[in-house]
Amino acid sequence: MTKHDLISAICKEVPGLSKKTCGEVLDTCFGTLAKGIKKDKRFSYPGFGTWTAKMRKARRGVNPQTGQPITIKASKTCTFKPSIEFKKSLNK
């Protein structure tokens, strides 16, 4: 599903909501979500799942083109863990 598909699906569910307004609300929602994860290191949406900010340690790797060992720098990432309800709904 793409952003456009999501906006279209929401507009079908909410009569009178324009695609432009829906897009603006989604942009604001995801922007706020990203800020919350950055600030609090975690965001949980009951019945859906939890996003968590994590730090990856530096590690050794291999350049696939040359086979030479390289060092991969430490980096920040975001993980998602689905709720039990969401996992069960995927198996239906």
Burial of 43 (0-12, 13-18, 19+ CB in 10 A): buried
**Helix, strand, or coil here: 27?**
helix
At 23, the amino acid letter reads G
> pLDDT, tens digit, for every residue of 11-58?
999 989 999 999 999 999 999 999 999 999 999 999 999 999 999 999
**Residue of 14, 40, 36, 41 whose CA lies nearest to 25:** 14
Distances (CA, A) of 89 to 5, 9, 79, 80: 21, 19, 20, 16
Per-residue model confidence (pLDDT) at position 79: 96
Tell whether the model's pLDDT for residue 91 goes beyond 90. Answer: no
pTM: 0.74
**pLDDT bucket at 92, cuts 50 / 70 / 90:** confident
- Neighbouring residues of 50: CB distance < 8 A, sequence distance ≥ 6: 42, 43, 44, 80, 81, 83
